[in-house]
Amino acid sequence: MMTRFVLIIVTALLGSCQDTSDLAPIAAGGELIMLTRNTPTTYYFEGDEEAGLDYALVRAFAEQHGMTLRVKVAFSLPELFAMLARGEGHLAAAGLTQSAQRDDTFQASLPYLQQQALVTYKSGKLRPRSLAQLIGRDLVVVAGSAHSELLTSLQAKLPQLSWREIHTVDSLELIQLVTEEKAELAVVNSLALSVGQRLFPRVVAGLEIGEPAPVVWYLPQSADDGVSLDLVNQFIQQARQNGDIAQLERQYFGRYEHASRVGSLTFQRKIAANLPPWQPLIQRVALEYQMDWQLLAAMAYQESHWNPNARSPTGVRGMMMLTRITAEELGVQDRTNAQQSLRGGARFFKDLLRRLPSDIEEPDRTSMALAAYNIGMGHLEDARIMTQQAGNDPHLWPDVRAQLPLLQHPEFFPMTKFGFAEGPQAVTYVDNIRHYEGMLKLQTLPEDRLAPPIEVDTLLPESLRAIAFPIL
């Protein structure tokens, strides 16, 4: 029975490893194969849904040209480029920094982002302030990365410079190594750090190395497979001009200036200590109101630190800190009842989302609804009108966000319908919630990431490993 089980596994694994390097030319209705990495900066799963900036961008490209998208995941950068060289995909999109070495072998698209190489360290430890201060320290870098190329070029001037290359899929594991003090320093890019700090807030940037570098897609040198560089570049140029890339950057790499590192560390501790008793209820209510549970949990934490008995000097109460009048309008009889409070807060938030103009898109829509939850829809509309009068876009949260603090200055009252408001407070409120939401979404990422394929030999007893099994 065991032998039959092993044979079934071996046959399945061998069959899954078979691939063709002959890609059919792409036409309308054809299949586009994307090579990528399973990382929070490129491609990952939120529940059952595929997500990630590179995934969203390539999906838009495929949809624009009537193609279906298939994703192939590599488990290291050398493997990714080997797959591309073998013709196993039409393009590689994985937050790839453009480099001269890569350009020698593949075609680079127009850049769609920029990122800066950073030497990171754990807060409280010795900060590196110059290249010379890297000598003699335990420095790690992703094997096969542009950062490895950069360090090699720096080594010409600093022969004593040394580092360890880690065969991993991305920088998140390096950041974890620094957090756990299994490495002293790590070279990561700025985009990866902006995400990684949500999970490991004690790792911070110490030193910039090199110049800001473009992020590109890579294609095989040959365009015989039907994806021309011109076609890709036209799409990227259009996506930059119409704001699609900027919107994706805000969604996946949003930087929240009011979200402090101390607040992040406190929140991380609260996740472990205070959230578990309330998480099932939060998830159930979020499901009822078709919300991400992480967003509802972040709102409840910002409002009350998940305390159903919380009370403010102004009289708002409960886990979602509802006013007496708002609670009555929402049918909440007991504001200190966690279930009633969560349902009332979720219902109120969903109503604010509904009341916003239909042409405000995500992620701006949610951010504006959060601001309205804090200061009211009337004050938000005042800020949107002021945004338009200033020549900016009232549909974009960054533009509206810049106007909100002006609501507390008397010289702007004549421009408003609803007068004074604590605009800076609303900005901080939204920044914190979006930051906490991102931290919650990343908590299970290390466990949920795709694992590399199992080596067939590891499934076989020692006595069978030398036997060549036929492919059936």
- Is the peptide bond between 220 and the residue preceding it cis, with omega within 30 degrees of 0? no
How far is Cα 118 from Cα 189, in angstroms, rounded to an integer? 6
How far is Cα 409 from Cα 423, in angstroms, rounded to an integer? 10
Whether residue 121 contacts residue 127, with contact meaning beta carbons closer than 8 Å, is answered with yes
How far is Cα 207 from Cα 298, in angstroms, rounded to an integer? 32
Give 110's contacts (C-beta < 8 A, 6+ positions apart): 216, 232, 233, 236, 237
Q: Letter for the amino acid at 363?
A: P
Give DSSP secondary structure letters for 364-425. HHHHHHHHHHHH-HHHHHHHHHHHHHTTS-TTSHHHHHHHGGGGGSGGGGGG-SS----HHH
Q: Letter for the amino acid at 29?
A: G
First to last CA, the chain: 18
SS3 call for 219: strand
Counts of helices then strands in the chain (DSSP H, E): 19, 11
How far is Cα 275 from Cα 269, in angstroms, rounded to an integer? 10
Both tokens assigned to 219:
């294609």
Residue 46 a catalytic site member: no
Instruction: Look up residue 44 and give its DSSP letter.
Output: E
- In angstroms, how far apart are the furthest CA atoms of the chain? 86
HSE of 137 in the Cβ direction (CA atoms, 13 Å)?
A: 24
CA–centroid distance for 82 within its chain: 26
Q: How many CB atoms lie within 10 A of CB 464?
A: 14
Q: Among 303, 328, 361, 411, which one carries the catalytic annotation?
A: 303
Whether residue 430 contacts residue 374, with contact meaning beta carbons closer than 8 Å, is answered with yes
Catalytic residues: 303
